[in-house]
A and B are shown apart, each in its own frame.
Chain A
Amino acid sequence: DVKVTQSSRYLVKRTGEKVFLECVQDMDHENMFWYRQDPGLGLRLIYFSYDVKMKEKGDIPEGYSVSREKKERFSLILESASTNQTSMYLCASSFLAGAGEQFFGPGTRLTVL
């Protein structure tokens, strides 16, 4: 089974802190994605990566950056956390070829105080 793991299920940080969210997948997928999920807004893509050291902005990249130094790991960075970044963060991965189905981690619920 494909496994996507995220470093924390719950995280509480203070405004202005630098926050790292880590995601690891074990199926050698080329593509990795970071979403945030908010009530009434569905899933919104923050960034995605299609190869090591390659990244593209999604729909809401402002206030975020990403890092992909190894194929299996994709990190989301909040340089200076703000209260409006309180959200559920979901990581996903997929093969480059294929129908495009994405495999998700369990999510990290981040609260910024």
Chain B
Amino acid sequence: GNSVTQMEGPVTLSEEAFLTINCTYTATGYPSLFWYVQYPGEGLQLLLKATKADDKGSNKGFEATYRKETTSFHLEKGSVQVSDSAVYFCALKRGAGNNRKLIWGLGTSLAVNP
């Protein structure tokens, strides 16, 4: 079936460190892929997305590339800030048919220390 696997957290980094949060997926067809972020006490908000293979989504210094050959969509940022402390969720939407639901990873908590 369709699934999303994220690296387990929590991830703790110092400010200005490089961030990678791994996300791999299992899906038939050609899914769209998303990263969402949830800041403390808030709902989720879309961080970036990619809708086809080799697309790179980017926003707020974060990037992720849709790699069909490795079924991955890893989130990266070159220099994290304290304000990036949040929970990050990877998700996919199946491309085929009239499918409205997102398949979610369990989330990865990131704490950035000054």
Q: Which residues of A contact B (CB under 8 A)?
A: 4, 31, 33, 40-43, 45, 48, 50, 58, 90, 92, 94, 96, 99-107
Q: What 0/1 readout, one digit per residue, does chain B (74-98) give for beta carbons within 8 Å of chain A?
A: 0000000000000001000100000
CB distance from B1 to the nearest CB of A (A): 12
Query: How far, in Å, is A109 (CB) from chain B's closest CB?
Result: 9
B49 interface neighbour in A33, A42, A99, A104, Cβ under 8 Å? A99
A-B contact pairs, 19 of them (CB 8 A): A31-B100, A33-B101, A43-B44, A43-B107, A45-B101, A48-B101, A92-B44, A96-B100, A99-B32, A99-B51, A100-B34, A100-B100, A101-B34, A102-B46, A104-B43, A104-B44, A104-B45, A105-B43, A107-B43
Q: Is the CB of A107 within 8 A of B106?
A: no
The 4 closest A-B pairs by CB, nearest first: A100-B93, A104-B43, A42-B106, A104-B44
For B99, the chain A residues whose CB sits under 8 A away are: 100
Interface size class of B (residues with CB under 8 A): 20 to 34
Task: Please report the C-alpha to C-alpha distance between residue A92 and residue B89 in the assembled complex, in whole angstroms.
Answer: 15
How many residue pairs at the A-B interface have CB separations less than 8 Å? 50
**What residues on A are CB-neighbors of B107 within 8 Å?**
42-43
Decide yes or no: A90 and B43 within 8 Å by CB, A41-B106, A99-B93 being known contacts. Answer: yes
With A43-B44, A48-B101, A103-B46 given, can you name 7 additional A-B contacts, CB distance below 8 Å? A42-B89, A43-B104, A90-B44, A94-B100, A96-B100, A100-B34, A104-B43
Select one of A42, A104, A106 contacting B104, CB under 8 A: A42
Across the two chains, which residue of chain B brings its CB closest to A42? Answer: B106
Cβ of B17: which chain A residues have Cβ within 8 Å of it? none
Bound CA span A41–B44, Å: 15
**Neighbouring A residues of B34 by C-beta, 8 Å:** 100-101
